[in-house]
Amino acid sequence: MSCPHLNLLDPDSYANGIPHDFFEQQRREQPLYWQEEPNTGVGFWVVTKYDDLQYISKHPEQFSSAARTALSREMSEEDIMLQRMMLINMDPPDHLKFRRIVNKAFVPKIVESKLAHIRDMAKDIIDKVARRGECEFVSEVAAELPLQVICELMGVAREDRHMIFHNTNIMIGADDPDLSTTEDEGKMAAAEIFAYGYKILENYRNNPNDNDNLINMLVSGTVDGEQLTDDEFSQFFLILLVAGNETTRTVTANGMKLLIENPDQLQQLVDDPSLIANAVEEFLRYEPAVMQFRRTATEDVEVGGQLIKSGDKVLMFYTSVNRDEDYFDAPHQFDIHRSNAKDHRSFGIGEHFCLGSHLARLELRVMFEEIIPRLRNPKFVEKPNFMRSDFLNSMKTMPITFDPETA
Ligand code: HEM
């Protein structure tokens, strides 16, 4: 190896963006390799190739999400026990039993039935900024649609949505000094959302109705004949709010950044909006919102020519597999016409494939169908400001200008 290993769990390794040159070299020279981690003492395998990520994601019996959670950070046994109540940190057979409870709310037919309403929300968001000719794109545009949609689905009152926004920001921003200073603050933010979940449940029990589909599903759903406990309900509430909110915002913000940087491709989308759906797939491929998720090997298993030992920590880098040259031609080129852009792995694959992928795709497409014809000639006011993180490729702020709408 000519290149010393970068510690991919050090947020500073991303200070200048995702280290694509490093990943490219690893894919070529040592696609699955062991990395010592001095800060925690828990080393990990780095997965950089598409096929290896695919194998690991599709074999949950060999690569567990429950053992040490799907998150890369090290936690106490007590915290792991709590985390295991969340879908994302479960293994088969429990995982599917829990997933089935809410799965129906996210199938394409149900998601598409919300199209007109989601479009109205997107229009309102753009109405608020279009005449001004400037906005802080992340908070005023990118954050709003996913936040409004998921809060509505989860029965969060409109006036409380900024509390959710604030707390989910703190939860994901543990490594960013602007967002959170201590781990305890992150825990308190999660506790506030958790407590709000109890309130929603209590309100629902006092006033049961058929309108709140997702709450209905959670309250009436059963696992092995048993209803969810209050804690399980609140954990579901928490994961849906966090997962449905930050990720879609991030792709919207990164997508806009890519269009500002590539005005020729933006013009093609203005001229032919039918290209927007594929452009969204290319945003997802090029700038995945989630950089990595974790698994823990449950047995000795050979993958990518390496022997992974039972108990080993394994990190799958979506940032790298989406640029695997064996799957994507000229992978570092941003190209809205890429014929296989949709094959990205930004939603994962296999057992834990993103539950909200149809909803996220719909929100992204509709949002850009509103943005592209109305926020014309967008330009940066200053450089986009990214969150300090080894987990999420999130933007904090991106002030922009555009031609003020006159009509
Ligand atoms: C662009 C937006 C999104 C991205 C990039 C994204 C990404 C991901 C990824 C990579 C996973 C796989 C986790 C793993 O393999 O361990 C996942 C799972 C999940 N996502 Fe998303 N997500 C997005 C939007 C959403 C939305 C809108 C929702 C819900 C409303 C959602 C809910 C979930 C849930 C509940 C899981 C766990 C599924 C399971 O464990 O079975 N996501 N997401």
CATH number, domain containing residue 194? 1.10.630.10
Residue 183 confidence (pLDDT): 75
Is the CB of residue 243 below 6 angstroms from any atom belonging to ligand 1?
Answer: yes
Asked whether residue 22 is assigned to any structural domain, the reply reads yes
Which atom from ligand 1 is nearest to the alpha carbon of 364?
A: 1
Asked whether residue 6 is assigned to any structural domain, the reply reads no
- CA 74 to ligand 1 centroid distance, Å: 21
Asked whether residue 2 is assigned to any structural domain, the reply reads no
**Separation of first and last alpha carbons in the chain:** 60
Residue 290 confidence (pLDDT): 97
Residues 6+ positions from 116 with CB-CB distance below 8 Å? none
- Using H for helix, E for strand and C for coil, what is the string for 14-56? HCCCCCHHHHHHHHHHCCEEEECCCCCCCCEEEECCHHHHHHH
Q: Which of 71, 106, 347, 368 to mutate to test the pocket of ligand 1 (most atoms within 8 A of CB)?
A: 347
Is the CB of residue 349 below 6 angstroms from any atom belonging to ligand 1?
Answer: no
Residue nearest to atom 41 of ligand 1 (CA): 352
- Residue 188: both structure tokens together: 């308190």
- Residue 11: both structure tokens together: 């947020």
Residue 277 confidence (pLDDT): 98
Task: Return the closest-CA partner of residue 386 out of 24, 31, 11, 41.
Answer: 11
Q: Which of 57, 87, 148, 355 to mutate to test the pocket of ligand 1 (most atoms within 8 A of CB)?
A: 355
If you write DSSP's letter for every residue of 174-239 in order, what string do you get?
A: TT-TTT-S-HHHHHHHHHHHHHHHHHHHHHHHHS--SS-HHHHHHHH-EETTEEPPHHHHHHHHHH
If you write DSSP's letter for every residue of 42-100 in order, what string do you get?
A: --EEEE-SHHHHHHHHT-TTTEESSSS-SSSS---HHHHHHHTTSGGG--TTHHHHHHH
User: Contact, 102 vs 334, CB < 8 A?
Assistant: no
DSSP state of 330: S
Asked whether residue 1 is assigned to any structural domain, the reply reads no
Q: How does strand 44-47 pair with strand 63-64? A: unpaired
Asked whether residue 322 is assigned to any structural domain, the reply reads yes
Domain residue limits at 75: 11-381+389-401
Is the CB of residue 105 below 6 angstroms from any atom belonging to ligand 1?
Answer: no
Judged by phi (left if over 0) then psi (alpha if -120 to 50, else beta), residue 328 lies in beta
Asked whether residue 129 is assigned to any structural domain, the reply reads yes
Is the CB of residue 88 below 6 angstroms from any atom belonging to ligand 1?
Answer: yes
Task: Return the closest-CA partner of residue 23 out of 228, 318, 327, 239.
Answer: 318
Query: String of b and e for 353-370 (b: at least 16 CB within 10 Å)?
Result: ebbbbbbbbbbbbbbbbb
Biggest alpha carbon–alpha carbon distance for the chain: 65
Count of structural domains within the chain? 1
- CA 338 to ligand 1 centroid distance, Å: 23
Q: What is the pLDDT along the chain (407 residues), one digit of tens a residue?
A: 434 579 999 999 999 999 999 999 999 999 999 999 988 999 999 999 999 999 999 999 999 999 999 999 999 999 999 899 999 999 999 999 999 998 988 999 989 999 999 999 999 999 999 999 999 999 999 999 999 999 988 889 888 988 988 888 888 777 787 776 677 888 888 889 889 999 999 988 898 876 667 888 888 889 999 889 998 898 888 899 888 888 999 999 999 999 999 999 999 999 999 999 999 999 999 999 999 999 999 999 999 999 999 999 999 999 999 999 999 999 999 999 999 999 999 999 999 999 999 999 999 999 999 999 999 999 999 999 999 999 999 999 999 999 999 97
**What's the one-letter identity of residue 253?**
A
Asked whether residue 5 is assigned to any structural domain, the reply reads no
The whole-angstrom separation of Cα 338 and Cα 360 is: 20
Is the CB of residue 289 below 6 angstroms from any atom belonging to ligand 1?
Answer: yes
